[in-house]
Amino acid sequence: MEQLVRVQKQNSDGTAQVIHVRQSACSGDCHKCSGCGAATQTLILTARNPINAKPGELVVIRSESGPVLAAAAVLYMMPLMLFFLGYALGAVLWQRGALTGGIAFAAGIAIAAAYDRLVAKKQKTIYTITGYGQMMPED
């Protein structure tokens, strides 16, 4: 996954502090849709700086997408798979498929939430500056 960011500060350990402004899905064009009050969020990230980018420069950072995809699979697929498994087992064993499916779905959500907390504590996303960026022309 690539993002366009601005370098704020160089660190002595070969990393840089970068600023990423995250906007809502509508890109803040409130005048086009009568105003939605979309808020922007400013994130300060640390990225490896192999190109020695200087403060103020616009750069492209890349993050590993493997951990993101694995987390998405657990968060979205686990409850769904457990629902179908619970429904099938409940229908065959106790003739209560919907009930056991619902219980299994709730257990899947609990497992996904626990996994999310574990990953958030354990693993931080690693960003790397891959090149210099250009501003996109506005419409």
Confidence of residue 102 (pLDDT cuts 50, 70, 90): very high
Q: Are residues 56 and 97 in the same domain?
A: no
- 139 assigned to some structural domain: no
Shared domain for 12 and 29, answered yes or no, is: yes
Q: Which of 11-15, 26-30, 132-136 has the highest mean pLDDT?
A: 11-15
**pLDDT tens digit string along 26-73?**
655 555 665 555 567 788 888 899 999 999 999 999 887 677 777 788
- Same domain assignment for residues 32 and 73: no
The pLDDT value given to residue 139: 45
Number of structural domains found in the chain: 2
In this structure, are 36 and 58 located in the same domain? yes
**8 and 30 share one domain:** yes
Does 109 share its domain with 80? yes
Q: What is the 3-state secondary structure (H, E, C) of the chain?
A: CEEEEEEEEECCCCEEEEEEEECCCCCCCHHHCCCCCCCCEEEEEEEECCCCCCCCCEEEEEECCHHHHHHHHHHHHHHHHHHHHHHHHHHHHCCCHHHHHHHHHHHHHHHHHHHHHHHHHHCCCCEEEEEECCCCCCC
- Our CA angle for 63, 39, 8, nearest 5°, is 45
What is this structure's pTM? 0.54
- Asked whether residue 77 falls in the same domain as residue 59, the answer is no
Residues 89 and 55 in one domain: no
